[in-house]
């Protein structure tokens, strides 16, 4: 029964559109996506989705991909078109320079998040169009214990210092921000990479090197000296930041020398390893 419910949440051949940014950063104050489409490729695609008139009831929808170009396993939002209007040439909102054909304005709301399972790309007259097989995420997928708690924590509106009230906690993370690992957190080679190069143990702090950003549905933040971690696995430490005493050059050199093995020892170790192998 669970498998039937999961399969019922899949959509095939969903046309995709993207501005290359997370949904939350491109919607208006009401949480809706307002688009003014004037490039012929987007107007043509919209014309295939929209009903004949704004008054006609239709289940017009498209997928908003949060990465561009869309990739498998990346995330997005099902955009339900709730209103649209065609703009004729000569109208004050008509954008010149893209021909005389009508343009269109679209208003869409959030119909739920999805993960892309498969992407199909089409080339038409030099234009790249994307269609996807997607899996809608149920409420159970979006609210799982510490994951849901972490998202609420970083989405919480806070006021700190000169930052205005209403900014999310995640938006205040910047270069130099201390972050405390709440669970063992993998360190990736970069925000875009899936290659793990290390792990931050629970209770250990890292320092952000840049602003966090959404990559394939995950909120990633680069850290000092290199690599990136998933922000939702961390919290801001409570209380004042401790002063960190950096070692002087002599102490640092001594520490490095202590980790190095003399060349002769390495050669003997390699000879023993080869003899055991044979």
The per-residue DSSP string of 221-268 comes to EEBSSS-EEEGGGEEPPSSPPPPP----HHHHHHHHHHH---HHHHHH
Q: Which residues contact 17 (CB under 8 A, 6 or more apart)?
A: 35, 42, 45, 62, 63, 64, 65, 79
Q: Is the pLDDT of residue 24 over 70?
A: yes
75 to each of 80, 114, 212, 230, how far by Cα in Å?
Answer: 16, 6, 17, 15
Half-sphere exposure of 137 (CA within 13 A, CB side): 19
Q: What is the mean pLDDT of residues 180-201?
A: 88
Instruction: Judge whether 217 and 75 are in contact, CB under 8 Å.
Output: yes
Query: What one-character-per-residue DSSP string does 69-109 give?
Result: S--TT-EEEEEEEEEEEEE-TTSTTPPTTS-SS-EEEEEEE
Whether the link from the prior residue into 143 is cis, omega within 30° of 0, is no
Q: What is the mean pLDDT of residues 70-95?
A: 90
Instruction: Name all domains of the chain by residue range, CATH numbers in brackets.
Output: 2-141 (2.30.130.40), 146-235 (2.30.30)
pLDDT tens string 204-247: 999 999 999 887 667 889 999 999 998 988 999 986 655 444 44
Burial class (CB in 10 A: 0-12, 13-18, 19+), 117: middle
Q: Is the pLDDT of residue 58 over 80?
A: no
Helix (H) or strand (E) holding 153: helix 146-155
- CA atoms of 93 and 50, how far apart (whole Å): 20
Which DSSP letter does residue 208 get?
Answer: B
Instruction: Judge whether 157 and 167 are in contact, CB under 8 Å.
Output: yes
Q: Which two tokens stand for residue 52?
A: 């004949």
pLDDT tens string 160-189: 555 555 578 888 999 999 999 988 888 999
pTM assigned to the model: 0.51
Burial class (CB in 10 A: 0-12, 13-18, 19+), 219: buried
């Amino acid at each position: 029964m669970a498998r039937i419910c999961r399969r019922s949440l899949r959509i095939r051949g969903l046309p995709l559109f993207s501005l290359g940014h997370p949904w939350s950063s491109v919607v208006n104050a009401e949480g809706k996506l307002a688009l003014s489409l004037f490039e012929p490729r987007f107007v043509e695609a919209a014309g295939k989705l929209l009903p004949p008139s704004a008054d006609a009831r239709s289940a017009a929808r498209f997928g908003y991909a949060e990465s561009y170009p869309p990739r498998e396993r990346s995330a997005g939002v099902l955009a339900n078109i709730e209103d649209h209007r065609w703009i004729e040439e000569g109208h004050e909102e008509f954008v010149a320079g893209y021909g005389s054909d009508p343009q269109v304005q679209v208003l869409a709301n959030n119909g739920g998040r999805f993960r892309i399972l498969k992407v199909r790309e089409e080339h038409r007259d030099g234009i790249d169009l994307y269609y996807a097989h997607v899996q809608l995420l149920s409420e159970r997928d979006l609210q799982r214990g510490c994951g849901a708690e972490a998202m609420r924590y970083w989405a919480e509106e806070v006021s700190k210092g000169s930052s205005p009230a209403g900014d999310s906690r995640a938006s205040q993370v910047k270069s130099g921000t201390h972050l405390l690992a709440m669970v063992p957190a993998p360190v990736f080679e970069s925000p875009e990479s899936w290659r793990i190069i290390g792990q931050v143990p629970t209770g250990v702090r890292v320092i952000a090197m840049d602003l966090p950003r959404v990559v394939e549905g995950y909120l990633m933040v680069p850290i000092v000296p290199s690599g990136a971690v998933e922000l939702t696995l961390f919290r801001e430490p409570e209380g004042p930041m401790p002063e960190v005493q950096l070692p002087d050059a002599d102490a640092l050199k001594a520490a490095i020398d202590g980790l190095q093995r003399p060349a002769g020892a390495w050669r003997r170790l390699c000879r023993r390893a080869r003899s055991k192998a044979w």
